[in-house]
Amino acid sequence: MSKVWINGKLFDKDDAKISVFDHGLLYGDGIFEGIRIYGGKVFRLREHIDRLYESARHILLEPPLGREQMTQAVLDTVKANAKQDGYIRLIVTRGAGSLGLDPGRCSDPQVIIIVDDISLYPAKYYEDGLEVITSSFIRNHPNALSPRVKSLNYLNNIMAKVEGVRAGCHEALMLNTKGEVAECTGDNIFLVKHGILRTPPISAGILEGITRDAVIALARGDEMVVEEITLTRHDVYAADECFLTGTAAEVIPVVKCDGRPIGSGKPGPLTRQLRERFQQIVRQ
């Protein structure tokens, strides 16, 4: 049975509990990171820890552990679970408090580390590609809740995901308040046009994905031209290739959007190249 780390102690999965008065549960008041394990090693742990503390600072949450302690807690939990390939969910909640929104009523923030298996897209979609729709749910306005904060309130993404699933798709494309392409419900998006790799900028109201950054670095290392520019649905429809990146998804092709084939309607050569390059670095 898997072990869950809560505030310095390991618990069997069935015994891992927090208070029902925790504001992470009551109001989504907390932050998290999803992290991958490859070959017993944690992928880009420093980058994930840095992003966790950036999210914490944004919402005025003080984690009870320093960065080095948090890093070691993650490594210790991976070791305790003897996991070679899997997924880590690192969570920091505001802690238990009385009913009401005021975070000042909370005490004792909770750090929770879950190490388990990850549910990937079925293998056929990595070979044949995904179909997506454009969701009617737009991405949160950055001045309402910044998409750069990985908060426990994911309802915006969930509603778009539900819409996509009900349309028979595994993912849905989300636009920002200007009608520009932002990201999908759990993944960043890339397009290829005339050999140039394009992706929305951070200013479009997206999460700065760890896998996104890794793929951009790989592409530039292979001397591809990469542009972080404003994109519209027209750019998606007219692209030669399209793919998504994310901790769980890794690199996965998209071959149709809103019923329109993208490019040839099959995963393109640059998508395949970058997926292979990404697999190389995570297996090194």
Which tens digit of pLDDT belongs to each residue from 228-261? 999 999 999 999 999 999 999 999 999 999 999 9
What mean pLDDT value characterizes the chain?
96
For residues 2 and 280, give the distance between their C-alpha atoms in angstroms, rounded to a whole number.
Answer: 28
- Predicted confidence at residue 119, as pLDDT, reads 77
pLDDT bin (cut points 50, 70, 90) of residue 45 is very high
Average pLDDT over residues 18-28: 96
- Predicted confidence at residue 27, as pLDDT, reads 96
CATH 3.30.470.10 occupies which residues in the chain? Answer: 3-116
Contacts of 261 (CB under 8 A, 6+ apart): 255
pTM: 0.95
CATH 3.20.10.10 occupies which residues in the chain? Answer: 123-283
Which of 3, 83, 124, 150 is catalytic? The answer is 150
Q: Is the pLDDT assigned to residue 1 strictly greater than 90?
A: no
Q: What is the CATH number of domain 123-283?
A: 3.20.10.10
Phi then psi for residue 119, to 5 deg, are -90, 110
For residues 32 and 59, give the distance between their C-alpha atoms in angstroms, rounded to a whole number.
Answer: 12
Bridging pattern class, strands 196-199 and 226-228: parallel
Q: What is the CATH number of domain 3-116?
A: 3.30.470.10
- Predicted confidence at residue 283, as pLDDT, reads 83
Give yes or no: 3 in active site: no
